[in-house]
Amino acid sequence: MIRLASNSLTRANILKSFNIDFIQSGGSFDEETITIKNPKSFVYEATLGKYKECLELYGYDIPLLVADTVVTSNNQLLRKAKDKDDARAMLELQSGNEVKIITCMIYKSKDIELIDISSTIYQFERFDEKKLNQYINSGECMGKAGAIMVEGFAKEYIKEVHGYESTAMGLCIEKLIPYIFVT
């Protein structure tokens, strides 16, 4: 049993799909306090902030797992969209472009500490305008780094991918599994 210190349904679904027992109890760390513009540094600081908050709240009587994800395209850091216009701007930037999705995770048990920063790079075809509008209006893009869902809306536009889809979804399960089953 592990504690997923995240409010993300996608991360919870990744753990469920690998039959990993967990309880989900996210925190309320405010990423807006981070002023760093470098994507890897930003995602690390956000994950570390969430980790410290959840460690204080829950300790690690059971292993603790924290993660955060950011998206970059054209050297711009894309976080969660503030509104539909912000989501549209982010998605239009990614349309027909190379997009890097970076996820940082911290896994801590009594015996093991894993800190990992992984990235997956996508090359997207241009997004269909009508489908883009439907996606934005559905609200699915809200709460997602870069407003993108590679397992959903963007899947049909993937031309090329380098890395794990799980990283792009917010948790590099392939790197986590060996550590979970050692504790």
pLDDT tens, position by position, 110-167: 889 999 999 999 999 999 999 999 999 999 999 899 999 998 999 999 999 999 999 9
* Positions marked catalytic: 68
Tell me what pLDDT residue 15 has. 97
Tell me what pLDDT residue 182 has. 60
Tell me what pLDDT residue 183 has. 47
| Phi, psi (deg, nearest 5) at residue 39 | -55, -45
According to DSSP, residue 163 is labeled S
Tell me what pLDDT residue 26 has. 82
**pTM (two decimals):** 0.90
pLDDT at 171 over 50: yes
* Domains along the chain with CATH numbers: 2-180 (3.90.950.10)
pLDDT digit string, tens, across residues 60-81: 789 999 999 999 999 899 989 9
The three-state secondary structure class of 59 is coil
According to DSSP, residue 170 is labeled T
Average pLDDT over residues 83-94: 97
Nearest to 141 by CA among 75, 67, 83, 74: 83
Q: Which residue has the tokens 């990235």?
A: 119
| pLDDT, averaged across the chain | 93
| Phi, psi (deg, nearest 5) at residue 127 | -75, 140
| Phi, psi (deg, nearest 5) at residue 99 | -130, 130
